[in-house]
Homo-oligomer: A and B are copies of this chain.
Amino acid sequence: MLKNDLILRAARGQDVERTPVWLMRQAGRILPEYRKVREKAKDFVTFVKTPELAAEVTVQPVDILGVDAAIIFSDILVIPEAMGLPYKMIEAKGPFFEKTIKTEKEVEQLRVAAGEDLKYVTDAIKLAKKELNGRVPLIGFAGAPWTIFAYMIEGSGSKTFSQAKKMLYTNPKLSHSLLQKITDSTINYLNAQILAGADLIQIFDSWAGILSPEQYNEFSLQYISQICDAVTNVPKIVFAKDAFFARKEISKLKCDVIGLDWTMDIAESKMLIGNNKTLQGNADPCLLYSDLPTIKKETEKMLQAFGPKRHIANLGHGLYPDTDKEKVKFFVDTIKEFRF
């Protein structure tokens, strides 16, 4: 039994006493407490793979920031690794894959990941659930297949992901077979997270916004749709960053919550998406650089625009690492104190 189920109720469209809030990348570098735990692991991938450490930083923001949900500390790139394509995290640069996917043979050689391949994540979930002891729900997550594909082809972060997009144009057959394999792995992974105790799940399509609407339908949305159909029992959040053009299509998925970023007008998004979905977001992470009166004013304006029902407050992207922890806490408190 959860003591605070505000986010679950908001996700289902039920009444809530106040708007619930959590923050993307809340378990992260903005917390000195996180940085201290991070030092215990020799590198980022080891950190992610150590359930005790992952569980510890998962719970920290609940204690320190007072958010209404924890999100399991992990990385979207655990999926390629479980499929047979390992990565490193390079300080100040981001993820790097020594080997990338170039041929259909290489796609065939990849495994479909099973839930057990990611036991370190499900173990972390179990530990975090125990530590949370019903205080708030725990969010599980995965990257959307297109975003995972983009890294597996490109081999690193990129402004354009032109190599990954080149693959869509030059070898749609390979692209679809890789996307399907990622999708099957992701379904297994998310179902394992739910079995381990995740109370809701989020699909992050971080690189949604670099595809044309047509390509997005063909190479991203249909795979997210498969995941939404196959993963049941808990509410599902789909966050397709920058995919303003897909809001109407995303509203047709079997998901409960749709994430918005700060470029997406709230009233327009509500109109496009309709009343059957909860919206999540959408403050600019840079708002948290402002002084307290500005944070308060803009946050309350956002809450008013979303209204009292079917809203989960969040940022429109992950917290930036140089954000002042006290301002993050003030943002959370502003939301928790606000009443319609």
**Residues of A near any B CB (own CB < 8 A):** 157, 159-160, 162, 165-166, 168-170, 209-213, 215, 242, 244-245, 262-265, 284-287, 289-291, 294, 317, 320, 322
State whether A162 touches B320 (Cβ < 8 A): yes
Q: Given A213-B263, A244-B245, is A290 in contact with B322 using a C-beta cutoff of 8 Å?
A: no
Q: Given A263-B213, A294-B169, is A286 in contact with B244 using a C-beta cutoff of 8 Å?
A: no
Residues of B within 8 A of A265 (CB): 213, 245
13 contacts between A and B (CB under 8 A): A162-B289, A162-B320, A165-B284, A165-B286, A165-B289, A166-B289, A169-B290, A169-B294, A210-B263, A211-B263, A212-B263, A242-B242, A244-B244
State whether A170 touches B264 (Cβ < 8 A): no
The smallest C-beta distance from A204 to any residue of chain B, in angstroms, reads: 16
Residues of B within 8 A of A263 (CB): 209-213, 242, 244-245
Bound-complex Cα distance A317 to B287 (A) = 28
Interface centre among A157, A286, A294 (most CB of B within 10 A): A286
Q: Given A166-B286, A290-B169, A294-B169, is A262 in contact with B212 using a C-beta cutoff of 8 Å?
A: yes
Bound-complex Cα distance A286 to B166 (A) = 6
Bound-complex Cα distance A159 to B210 (A) = 13
Residues of B within 8 A of A245 (CB): 244, 263-265
Q: Given A213-B263, A245-B264, A263-B213, is A162 in contact with B285 using a C-beta cutoff of 8 Å?
A: yes
Known: A160-B286, A169-B287. 10 other contacts (CB 8 A): A157-B159, A159-B159, A160-B320, A162-B322, A165-B284, A169-B286, A169-B294, A209-B263, A212-B262, A245-B264
State whether A169 touches B289 (Cβ < 8 A): yes
State whether B212 touches A290 (Cβ < 8 A): no
Residues of B within 8 A of A211 (CB): 263
What are the 5 A-B residue pairs with the smallest beta carbon separation, nearest first? A165-B286, A166-B289, A169-B290, A212-B262, A169-B289
State whether B244 touches A162 (Cβ < 8 A): no
Q: Which residue of B lies closest to A170 (CB)?
A: B289
The smallest C-beta distance from A226 to any residue of chain B, in angstroms, reads: 23
Residues of B within 8 A of A157 (CB): 159
Residues of B within 8 A of A264 (CB): 245
The smallest C-beta distance from A184 to any residue of chain B, in angstroms, reads: 26
Q: Which residue of B lies closest to A158 (CB)?
A: B159
The smallest C-beta distance from A278 to any residue of chain B, in angstroms, reads: 21
Residues of B within 8 A of A284 (CB): 165, 212, 215
Which of B162, B291, B317 meets A286, CB within 8 Å? B162
State whether A170 touches B244 (Cβ < 8 A): no
Interface centre among A209, A262, A285 (most CB of B within 10 A): A262
Bound-complex Cα distance A157 to B166 (A) = 23
Which of B162, B168, B170, B290 meets A170, CB within 8 Å? B290
Q: Which residue of B lies closest to A160 (CB)?
A: B320
Bound-complex Cα distance A301 to B244 (A) = 22
Q: Which residue of B lies closest to A246 (CB)?
A: B263
The smallest C-beta distance from A200 to any residue of chain B, in angstroms, reads: 27
